[in-house]
A = this chain, B = another copy of it.
């Protein structure tokens, strides 16, 4: 049987990958060698892309969920003509500063749609991209947003729980333009998959109402035919491609070592002999490169037609589309928040902390319809649905995704939405369940994606549900994460200010953390400026005399600090209260501002959480009132007393330090 005409294109991937991995002395050959034909069929025959404009808004998205196989992606990007991935960068695979990093790192300009590596994240990101596409398609029409989302995926992603969450939710939402290309090679790092899994994985997709095809992943015709069928089918599609791991390297192919055993020059030579590839290391013969570059230009007519459609749109429509896709906020968006802030001073009742956020989110709906809220089966207690319609299998215009009890995929799909662009994803659950979502939050922080992670029920203030539901260490664990803003507003005014800061922040994710309990106003009067913008500020200066004590607090404990101040000031001890809703912003302030806020005297921090991290602000004469361990089951008021988080305890600690 004569070789398929695309076979040399697939081999070009194989040998670029082998040569790069040999040169780097490490890497994962399993994926690029096993998926070379699958990737070639996709990129040459079907993918809508334009290497000359990598961030074209209507491109098909491609995610390498099995990110350890990064040389597959780099080979594809180089061969199809992405300027950011020249041969010299392939040759620097895994070197410091190379575009071709060990795992793909988010770099849309280079064609790298998301960072992948921790397994399961990529396919969950792809789900988010497909949701964003469907939503934008419904909003702007197929002329502007109408693309597929493909994800390469390995066994590991499908063993991870988040993988099943993704399978289940994608099937439920019937995202027909989502396709998984599974490298079904029967091998993981430990050896045969039979060491740890027995089920028919493809069947799991069928149960979840996916379109499933099982095929030979090295048969270019079969892959092409399956891709065509998958595109035509209205269900999300799985191509279960049986492959040989490390295919082409005699010593390791089909073996455990095919995954990532170190490759040597001799392996490369033996592969060249086996596959009849007489070319030098890193040499891609001109005819093959030409064929690849032509493939990279295959979508140009579609690209040009799209540009023309965009150019001929009515000006206002075009401006709105471009604004949304650029992630810009519309004129006047702050007015909603400013107005809310002003009206907070007239509010007759004191709502629960999380309900403040729900109100704000709802007020923003008409102004910022591109917010998409995901929530993990806590609609009523987290209060962020209100007027929003659900995004469903039959209604793509809805902007509220009932994620089910699946926090992990909720966070990861939010990342995918943010990476896609055109939507502002919010992910909502209890703070106690942030740990379930944390692997996604870490990836958002690493990529610098503008995801809003909204949390309610942020402390022992939740009361009787007990310690499982009472965060004590979670604020600290989030504050420890680089590039993650953690905001814990004290009242309705701070809620509005923090929301404004969070929306304007595009360089990374924000955790907006709200109490379950009522948050009485701590701001005495309206000011148009955003005082939370500096992260921490003097809410009340000492008035009984020169400042001797500074009380530091966040969220629900700011009111308590104010009460403690009253006690101390009544004794003539000049006491200031500092509200610190966002440590990350405070840390960015000039040293003299920080010093002015923190003061020279005694400092006592109060927070219904652990002390961990607070010492950075406490100085030599500092104390802390908060939690020493996990919480307990009982009414919130009783718990605050039980754990000694009271105004009197704060005042006592301040007095003790003054006398020390």
Interface residues in chain A, defined as those with a beta carbon under 8 Å from any beta carbon in chain B: 24, 26, 67-68, 94-98, 101-103, 105, 115-120, 155-157, 159-165, 168-169, 171-172, 188-191, 193, 195-200, 203-204, 207-209, 375, 377-381, 390, 393, 402-409, 432-433, 435-436, 438-439, 442-443, 445-446, 463-469, 472-473, 476-477, 479-483, 610-613, 615-616, 619-620, 627-630, 632-635, 638-639, 642
How far, in whole Å, are A161 and B409 apart by their CA atoms in the complex?
9
How far, in whole Å, are A520 and B616 apart by their CA atoms in the complex?
32
Minimum C-beta distance from A517 to chain B (A): 14
Residues of B within 8 A of A442 (CB): 435, 473
Contact B159 A161 (CB under 8 A): no
Known contacts A468-B115, A480-B610; decide if A196 and B404 are in contact (CB<8 Å).
Answer: yes
Residue of B172, B482, B629 touching A198 (CB-CB under 8 A):
B172
Residues of B within 8 A of A467 (CB): 105, 115, 446
Contact B466 A406 (CB under 8 A): no
Residues of B within 8 A of A117 (CB): 465-466, 468-469
Residue of B402, B406, B620 touching A190 (CB-CB under 8 A):
B402
Minimum C-beta distance from A492 to chain B (A): 25
Contact B628 A482 (CB under 8 A): yes
Contact A160 B480 (CB under 8 A): no
Minimum C-beta distance from A571 to chain B (A): 28
Contact B200 A207 (CB under 8 A): yes
How far, in whole Å, are A398 and B64 apart by their CA atoms in the complex?
36
Contact B172 A377 (CB under 8 A): no
Contact B195 A402 (CB under 8 A): yes
Residues of B within 8 A of A407 (CB): 160
Contact B465 A190 (CB under 8 A): no
Please name 4 further chain A to chain B contacts, defined as beta carbons within 8 Å, in addition to the given A96-B638, A160-B406, A435-B442, sorted by A numbering.
A161-B408, A197-B404, A198-B209, A482-B628
Residues of B within 8 A of A191 (CB): 379
How far, in whole Å, are A635 and B96 apart by their CA atoms in the complex?
7
Contact B172 A102 (CB under 8 A): no
Contact B466 A102 (CB under 8 A): yes
Known contacts A171-B199, A196-B377, A207-B207; decide if A633 and B105 are in contact (CB<8 Å).
Answer: yes
Cβ contacts A to B, 9 pairs, < 8 Å: A68-B465, A94-B633, A96-B635, A118-B433, A168-B197, A172-B196, A433-B439, A443-B468, A480-B480
Residues of B within 8 A of A639 (CB): 96
How far, in whole Å, are A26 and B619 apart by their CA atoms in the complex?
43
Contact B613 A480 (CB under 8 A): yes
User: Which residue of the partner chain B has the closest CB to A25?
Assistant: B464
User: Which residue of the partner chain B has the closest CB to A118?
Assistant: B468
Residues of B within 8 A of A620 (CB): 619-620
Minimum C-beta distance from A617 to chain B (A): 8
Residues of B within 8 A of A480 (CB): 473, 476-477, 480, 610, 612-613
Residues of B within 8 A of A390 (CB): 195
Residues of B within 8 A of A164 (CB): 161, 164-165
Residues of B within 8 A of A633 (CB): 94, 96, 98, 101-103, 105
Contact B102 A24 (CB under 8 A): no
Residues of B within 8 A of A160 (CB): 161, 165, 405-407, 436
Minimum C-beta distance from A445 to chain B (A): 8
Contact A380 B473 (CB under 8 A): no
How far, in whole Å, are A432 and B119 apart by their CA atoms in the complex?
11
Counting chain B CB atoms within 10 Å of each CB, the highest count among A169, A435, A445, A611 belongs to A435
Contact A464 B102 (CB under 8 A): yes
How far, in whole Å, are A156 and B616 apart by their CA atoms in the complex?
40
Contact A613 B610 (CB under 8 A): no
Contact B189 A172 (CB under 8 A): no
How far, in whole Å, are A463 and B611 apart by their CA atoms in the complex?
33
Contact A156 B102 (CB under 8 A): no
How far, in whole Å, are A619 and B630 apart by their CA atoms in the complex?
27
How far, in whole Å, are A102 and B464 apart by their CA atoms in the complex?
5
Residues of B within 8 A of A377 (CB): 156, 159, 188-190, 196
How far, in whole Å, are A589 and B438 apart by their CA atoms in the complex?
33
Residues of B within 8 A of A102 (CB): 463-466, 469, 633
How far, in whole Å, are A169 and B120 apart by their CA atoms in the complex?
17
How far, in whole Å, are A200 and B628 apart by their CA atoms in the complex?
45
Residues of B within 8 A of A188 (CB): 377, 404-405
Residues of B within 8 A of A190 (CB): 375, 377-380, 402
